[in-house]
A and B are shown apart, each in its own frame.
Chain A
Amino acid sequence: KAGVTQTPRYLIKTRGQQVTLSCSPISGHRSVSWYQQTPGQGLQFLFEYFSETQRNKGNFPGRFSGRQFSNSRSEMNVSTLELGDSALYLCASNVGPGGVNSPLHFGNGTRLTVT
């Protein structure tokens, strides 16, 4: 079974630009979550989606947004990029209802560098 797939793996953007990251969950997984990882803050939760609905949102500014499609694939968008947005962005999938205690499975991440 294929794992969580994230594209692209690396991105270099300039301040003020916007970026869209993509995530395809494990087949059969209906929940997708996004995390930002930086050396100083560790893994921080961005959003969680299930059945195209955002269930939870972390403490990030409105420049960070996301969505989930009917095939469970998800995208996240960051507008007006700032230097501090440079991070590893991780997508994770989960089976969905009935699997609350089931773990998250992470993709390889997208390394975003803002210059």
Chain B
Amino acid sequence: QKEVEQNSGPLSVPEGAIASLNCTYSDRGSQSFFWYRQYSGKSPELIMSIYSNGDKEDGRFTAQLNKASQYVSLLIRDSQPSDSATYLCAAPSRAGSYQLTFGKGTKLSVIP
């Protein structure tokens, strides 16, 4: 059974700081990873996907993948109160499947 683990938080950062969210996974064969943001009472919204080792940047968001260490991270630069949400890390449950295994999410609070 593939597992995706996240620190549940809450993680509190001051406005303007860098928020760092981490995720570890059990299956060395996992090839793709996704970060979703979920506001309270809303559905998950995709914010980043990453498939290769290294960094991928999109605006204030940077996803980092280290396959050797089996971790994925999401950095949010210049954090804003609107970034306050639960961030979910996900990976395909099996090769060739669209089924995703999700971590339980890290709740981020950005303090004005």
Contacts and interface: CB of A to CB of B under 8 A. Distances in A.
B104 interface: yes
Nearest to A55: B97
Interface in B22-65: 31-32, 34, 36, 42-46, 49, 51
B73 interface: no
> Which of the four size classes fits the interface of chain A?
20 to 34
Contacts of B49: 101, 103
Interface residues of B, number: 26
Contacts of A33: 98-100
A100 B100 contact: no
A108 B34 contact: no
Interface in A80-115: 88, 90, 94, 100-101, 103-109
B102 A100 contact: no
Contacts of A104: 34, 46, 98, 100
Contacts of A61: none
B31 A101 contact: yes
A90 B100 contact: no
Mostly, the A contact residues are: strand
Contact of B103 (A42, A55, A109): A42
B43 A109 contact: yes
Interface in B68-103: 88, 92-103
B29 to A, nearest CB: 13
Contact of A100 (B36, B92, B104): B92
Contacts of B92: 100-101
In this complex, the member of A48, A103, A109 whose beta carbon has the largest number of chain B beta carbons within 10 angstroms is A103
Contacts of A100: 32, 92, 95-98
A45 B98 contact: no
10 contacts: A31-B98, A42-B102, A48-B97, A48-B99, A56-B99, A100-B96, A101-B31, A103-B34, A104-B100, A107-B43
Interface of B: 31-32, 34, 36, 42-46, 49, 51, 88, 92-105
